[in-house]
Amino acid sequence: MSDENQRLWRLLWRWSIAYAVMMAALSASLAFGDKPALKLRRSTDGTLFILPDLPAGTPYEVAEVTAAKNGCWVTYAWIAAGRPKAATYSLPYLLDGEPIPPGPIPPEPKPPVPPDPKPPAPPEPTPGPVALQVLMVYDPANLPGLGPKADGLWAKSVRDYLDSHCAKDELKRPRWRIWPINVGDVEKATGWKPVFDDAKAEAAKAGVPWIVVLDPSGKKLASQVLPESDGAVLELLQKWGGK
């Protein structure tokens, strides 16, 4: 058997089951209507389809494929107005000698839909300036070795800022304090003791001065090693107290 005949027999076998089912239905009530034209459709991958020009959504099937000289006979069956119909077409070989297997219309490729761009997250609001409460604690035994690192404790620019930007207590005093860790009488009545006790422990552990910044309600805004220059201390305070 030649290669061409073998290919045709393979096609015939492929559609034999569908043909048996469809022809059983056609044998009961076969009605031939107008023979629809065939149309060509080539998919994006280069596959060529020959399809009956039927209304969209019409069920149809390839009922039979039969070998013929220089081509093959293909029988289409479809349902129209609730009744089965059929038509037979002669299809030539393509240039490579292969018959065209009819099949369903492949879906047209759709371009990818780009995802909706997410708007950038809004920046976190910068809190407005607040009246500060500030405590600085140092160990006198460590001061000789600190040199300029302790300038923030004594700089006039820092103290002037604290006078003008700190909340006032009931005696109208700015609420900032600079104490050694061995200070004797901490102002218990004005709420400094728990803040002092925490800062004292941190300063003793770090071996350098410690600064605590609070808002007017006593919420802790910063608790850290004292910055190493008066300018850096002012920058820290201005973060919450403003210029």
Residues 63 and 142 in one domain: no
- Please report the DSSP string for 151-210 in residue order: HHHH-HHHHHHHHHHB-B-TTS-BSEEEEETT-S---GGGT-HHHHHHHHHHHHHHTS-E
Residue 97 DSSP class: S
CATH of the domain at 236: 3.40.30
- Residue 172's identity, in one-letter code, is K
Question: Among residues 91, 124, 141, which one ends one of the domains?
Answer: 91
More confident residue, 65 or 170: 170
pLDDT of residue 204: 87
Answer whether residue 108 is part of any domain.
no
Residues 57 and 144 in one domain: no
Domain boundary among 91, 113, 145: 91
Identify whether residues 72 and 166 lie together within a single domain: no
Indicate whether 122 belongs to any domain.
no
DSSP assigned state of 132: B
**CA atoms 240, 161, 133, 237: torsion sign:** positive
Helices (H), ranges, the chain: 3-28, 143-146, 151-154, 156-165, 193-206, 230-241
Q: Is residue 119 part of a domain?
A: no
pLDDT per position as a tens digit, 123-180: 766 566 899 999 999 988 888 888 877 888 889 999 999 999 999 988 899 999 999 9
Q: pTM higher than 0.75, yes or no? A: no
Domain count of the fold of the chain:
2
74: in domain: yes
pLDDT value, residue 137: 93
The residue among 14 and 200 whose pLDDT is bigger is 200
Cα–Cα distance measured from residue 155 to residue 153, given in angstroms and rounded to the nearest whole number: 6
Are 18 and 70 part of one and the same domain?
Answer: yes
Q: Is residue 126 part of a domain?
A: no
Same domain, 138 and 87: no
Query: In this predicted model, which residue has the larger pLDDT, 148 or 217?
Result: 217
Judgement on whether residues 157 and 223 belong to the same structural domain of the protein? yes
Element (H, E) at 227: none
137 and 85: one domain? no
Domain assignment of residue 190, given as a range: 133-241
Looking at the structure, do residues 147 and 237 belong to the same domain, yes or no? yes
Domain assignment of residue 187, yes or no: yes
